[in-house]
Amino acid sequence: MYTIQTLNKISLNGLELFSRDKYEIATEISNPDSIILRSFNMHDMELPQKLKAIARAGAGVNNIPVEKCTDKGIVVFNTPGANANAVKELVLAALLLSSRKISKGISWSQSLKGKGSEVPGLVEKGKSQFTGPEIKGKRLGVIGLGAIGVMVANDALSLGMDVIGYDPFISIDSAWELSSTVTKASSLEHLLSTSDYITLHAPYNSKTSGMINNESLKIMKDGVRIVNFARGGLVANKDLLDAIKSGKVACYVTDFPEEDLLGNDNIITIPHLGASTPESEENCAVMAASQLREFLEKGNVINSVNYANCELPFSGNTRIISAHENIPNMLGQITTILAENKLNIADMISKNRDKTGYTIVDIDGAISDEVVEKIKGVKGIKMVRIIKIK
């Protein structure tokens, strides 16, 4: 029986993946095998001694003490891309909002309340102040071609936009997903200087912090429209406000309102609604639960933030899983112990990522507690777990 503690309310569709005969799931559970959560802050929490895995239903993991977990061999999972469609849909809306003065027009028409039968006439007379260009035929620059950026790029093509993308670290999966009609920017400057609309989909880190600043704004086309559903910190607000004032930027739509961005006619602030859909919450829960189940039942690692992806179909009778440091001869030492104890290896895989390593070895027959203890004793080993295959 595996035990799972839920630290937040998790969508039923996710929890239903854990069959009751194999799992005990509760909000209060002492010393659980695993934890599933959304935004609960784990930093002040003592990590349960038996804890093997934490699954976060969502992308960010700053509410989880990842380094501390890595030290103890606890695998931390997230759900990249599970909310991508939700964000993409709002980005497409934001492109239109940035062009067509929809939000101003809505507020203005609401302000006509009380004008009685004059309303239709006033609408026809006043509507010209809300004219804005179509997006069809305009160039959209997509910065960051991951789960969200690729979807935005592909769907913007369907809306008739000419799309250019920039991502120096694009993954193979994203490259496969991306339409071949998207132009590959030769540099960030190439994208910035040729786009009518720019949308940000890169992560926030020390390299991307304030990437939209005086310098980058200077090379953009006059009247550019910028959409930011990635993170507020990607844009230097003061520089952006200057660019709005000078007319360099016609409109900025952001999912990250801050005091200095409010009350400006050409800035549209949305209260961080990118992933706020019931579907997205469900997708995250289902993805987190299925990855956790795969780990607990089979030892496979899919979408971990601190260990490499590592999957192996079952063979043999017993699976030995170990999380360890990424140092020479870990696999060699494990296989030597098995050979010394006359245990035959049916299949194995070992993957490293940064400072961590993860190894799965399937053997014929059973393993004794004594041999497991020997493996645990190898320098650099953080966690060993045994799964009975048949």
Ligand X SMILES: NC(=O)c1ccc[n+]([C@@H]2O[C@H](COP(=O)([O-])OP(=O)(O)OC[C@H]3O[C@@H](n4cnc5c(N)ncnc54)[C@H](O)[C@@H]3O)[C@@H](O)[C@H]2O)c1
**In the complex, which residues of this chain contact ligand X (CB under 6 A)?**
59, 80-81, 83-84, 87, 143-149, 166-171, 174, 201-204, 207-208, 229-231, 255, 272, 274-275
Min. distance of Cβ 12 from ligand X in angstroms? 22
Q: Which is nearer to ligand X, 185 or 338 (CB)?
A: 185
Go through the chain and tell me how many residues it has: 390
Q: Give residue 286's identity as a one-letter amino acid code.
A: V
CB of 280 to ligand X, least distance (A): 8
User: Residue 208 or residue 335: which is nearer to ligand X going by CB?
Assistant: 208
Task: Closer to ligand X by CB, 274 or 357: give it.
Answer: 274
Look-up of token digits 């759900």? 79
**In 222-330, which ranges are E strands?**
224-228, 249-254, 267-269, 318-325
CB 184 → ligand X: shortest distance, Å? 12
- Based on CB atoms, which residue is closest to ligand X, 255 or 362? 255
Query: CA 3 to CA 25: how far, in whole Å?
Result: 6
Burial-class residue 31 by CB neighbours within 10 Å (0-12, 13-18, 19+).
exposed
Q: Which amino acid is at 10?
A: I
Residue 174 CB, nearest approach to ligand X (Å): 6
Q: Which of 1, 13, 96, 44 is nearest to 281 (CA)?
A: 13
H or E, element range at 139: strand 139-143
Complex with ligand X: residue 202 or 310, whichever CB lies closer = 202
> How far is Cα 112 from Cα 316, in angstroms, rounded to an integer?
75
At closest approach, how far in Å is the CB of 211 from ligand X? Answer: 7
The DSSP letter of residue 307 is S
**261 SS3 class:** helix
CB of 386 to ligand X, least distance (A): 34
Q: Which residue is nearest to ligand X (CB)?
A: 146
| Closest approach of ligand X to the CB of residue 323, in Å | 23
Closest to ligand X by CB, 148 vs 337, is: 148
Structure tokens belonging to residue 49: 């001694």
Q: Report the candidate in 191, 98, 92, 194 with the shortest Cα–Cα distance to residue 151.
A: 92
Report the residue number, 185 or 312, with the smaller CB distance to ligand X.
185
Spatial CA neighbour of 253 closest among 235, 234, 237, 266: 266
